[in-house]
Structure formats: C-alpha cells, structure tokens
Structure 1
C-alpha cells in the first residue's frame, strides 16, 4: 500500500502470488510470444492454483465472480485489480463486457475464464461467449489471445471439480514434491470475429495445445 501511495503502482501483488505458488510447490514455465500490456487473455480453468500461477508468472489481473467468500480473499484480489462480474446477471452482460474492455485497456493484461468455473483437468468445459463481447468494445490496440494452462500428468490430480473447496485445498497442500506447470501464451485471435466465433477459436487453440503437449489424442471434445 505504501509503494502504491508513493509511486502510483505496485509490483507486490505479483511478487506475493509468485511466492505463494512457489511455496505450494508450483514451478511455472511461460512459453510463447511476449505479452502486450493491453491484452485480454482467454484461459482454461483447472484450479485455484491458476490465480497464483498466472498472476505471479505473467502479472495479469483477473475477471472473477463477485462472491469470493472470505473478506481477506476479496481484499487480496482487490490489490491485483480484479474485476468482478455476476455471471447469472444475463441482462447486465453487455455492461460487464464493456467493463472488461476498459480493464483490458489498462497497463495490465487481464484473464477471463470462459468456462465460468474450474474443470476436472482431463477435458474442457463449454466456453461461455457472452463476456467475450468485450473484444468488440475494446480499443484497437487491445489483443485477444488464448492461454493454455498445462499441468501435464497432474491435471486431474489438481483439478477442482465436484469437490469442496476445503477438501481440495487440503489435498493440494498435502501433495508431495513439486508441480511443473507450463503457461502457453498462444497467438492472438482475429478480433473482428463475433463472440461465439472467438469462443470457439480460443477453445480449439487451447484444446489442441494441451493435447499436443501431452502427446496424446485430444481429450477435449468439440463444444456443442
């Protein structure tokens, strides 16, 4: 807070998230082209670890549901310029997409998880396209890029799906050894596409990358 007061910005949220990921055993590696500061990233979502990894390794902010639970968690998220949305508020989706567009224009990339929740790790959930309308509202220098978060063979182990938050956290914290994770920053998408085409293109790019990195046939069926 003192750094932000004196300089107007602070690198401490990124340092905090990076240190937290390291303490849990995560060893991230970022591959792909350099990240433009004005970028909307579209990522798969596997675990609460995603926040520590992406925030620490790339310095991104996040689009999050508005009910994060404990007030301390909410305060910590605020320090990294988290943008809150109510996914159930379909009537307000346009205003939320506009807010995401404005956030993507800031000096910090921002990540959107279009699955809307964490998945099991062995396949992608359907991508919701409504908030991707942000691409149509954003300034011309904003890039839209898919991001594939790859936990490798440990993906199903760390996946948070159909399990209470407490049980998942205790299980992950009790895990022995380190956890190598690759963050694939993929080529930017054509912003002139409509939101459904963007969602489809992002999902296909992420699915192909994850399948290729694991040397196996795709486990990510086409979205219906």
Structure 2
C-alpha cells in the first residue's frame, strides 16, 4: 500500500506541476508580481497533494522585506515554508545542477551561493539585500545542512555573510529578520516521537529519490511552524550577533514544538 500511495502522490504532483511551470516562467520573465505570489498558491496545493497539514504560530511581515532564518529538516521544507508565505530561498550551488529540482528552484527565484568561492559572497550579498529592499521574503537555512529532526545543528556564521555583509549599507526599517522553527510532529495524526522523526528527515548521505519514495508512501504528516517577531536587520552589529540571536531563538522554539506545545493556526 505504501508503494501505491507513493506512486499516486508522485503522479498527481507531476500532472499538477508540469503544466504550471511555463506559466510561472512567464511571470518571472515579465517581472510580474505573481512571480512572488504564484509559488505560494502552488505549494499550498502541493501540501494538500502530499498530505501535509500546517500548524502555524505567528506570521511573516507582509509590508517589508524579511530575511527568514530557519532550521532545515527535509527536502519537504521547501514546500512547507513556501506554503506558509511567498518566499524565495538561498540555496547551495549544487542545487542548480539537480535534475528537475533546479528548474523549480529557478522558477521560485532562488539565490544560488557557491560556498567554496569567497569572492562570490559580495555579489550574492548585494543581490540578496536588493531583493530584501524590494520587499522579498528570503529564506536562509542557517545550519548549512539538514538535521535528523530531533535537534538543531549549530548555525554556520559564515552563511550569514551573504545576508549581513560588512557594515556600510543600512537597511533602516525596510528590512527585518524573522526566525522560523520547523518540526514534523505527527504521522496519520499520531506523534512521531524521537525514533519516528528521522523517517521524515533527509540528512547525511541519504539518496533523495529513494528517500522521497519512502516518505511519500508513509501517509499524512503534521508540520509545526513557529515564526518569531520581526527585528530590524540593522539591530545586529554584525553577522555573528545575527547568527547568535537566530540560533538561540530557533533552537528554543524547536524544543517547544517537539514537546508538543500547540500552535495557533492550521492550514
């Protein structure tokens, strides 16, 4: 039965996704406002296809650019976070080479960063800051990797260089930082527990295709999200201060989510 469910979910996903890709490409090339909002609608539908129920505490500030600093558990995070709000992602350069995934990432206006080339950080920082000043919501997975779903990996300060470069470019009140804590807590309405959460997580050297097949065959999932209040980016003197604040807040919120503290809004 799990294989049947995985097949039906994947077949429905591709049947729904492929015809919409040219439409999003048109929005992106025209510079339409729908280039931001259409992926949000699309991922909400994908959550329904996959069977993900979103339990959300807090919301992303709509009237300003927001750097969203999040923990990272699974490839499902992309769909879950995109269903919460219209967002783009800071992605590692390798993603731009993954079959099919790279097309979806480009259509969602992701920013690809080569972590091995320090000379690229400056240009990418300007690109991200320009996007934030234009009112975009940009997600940074600050751990630099994904976890097993039971813990938060220490944040990598260097990753914040692309979003909080050297002093000299004040953002004022136009750009804020918000933390986002994410955990997968239930399967078929039953608590996953410490042993169950790694079934959802995609980490280490797991093969993405085989993991996706197994995960989509499991059944409906609950994703709990807690969003911190907006804090002006200028409140942080440097990227170390920003990383320290974000890690403490995300880690604390993930612990509370895993302990079962209820969230406020279900989607």
Shift of residue 44, structure 1, vs aligned partner: 0.2
**Alpha carbon RMSD of aligned pairs, Å?**
2.3
> Among 134, 140, 143, which residue is 1:112 paired with?
140
Task: Name the count of aligned residue pairs.
Answer: 215
Unaligned runs of 5+ in 1: 217-224
Q: Considering only CA atoms, is the larger Rg found in Structure 1 or Structure 2?
A: 2
> Among 107, 114, 135, which residue is 2:164 paired with?
135
More helix by share: 2
In the aligned structure 1, how far is the partner of 2:170 from the partner of 2:99?
Answer: 31
TM-score (norm 2): 0.72
TM-score (norm 1): 0.85
Q: After superposition, what is the alpha-carbon deviation per residue over 1:129-173, rounded to whole angstroms, capped at 9, x for unaligned?
A: 223232354622100111101212453221111211122111111
In the aligned structure 2, how far is the partner of 1:138 from the partner of 1:23?
Answer: 42
> Among 208, 226, 232, which residue is 1:165 paired with?
208
In the aligned structure 1, how far is the partner of 2:31 from the partner of 2:115?
Answer: 34
In the aligned structure 2, how far is the partner of 1:32 from the partner of 1:78?
Answer: 28
In the aligned structure 2, how far is the partner of 1:132 from the partner of 1:167?
Answer: 32
In structure 2, the CA distance between the partners of 1:98 and 1:47, relative to structure 1 (3 Å rule), is same
SS of residue in 2 equivalent to 1:8: coil
Unaligned runs of 5+ in 2: 1-22, 186-191, 261-267
**After TM superposition, where is structure 1 displaced by more than 4 Å over at least 4 residues in a row?**
none
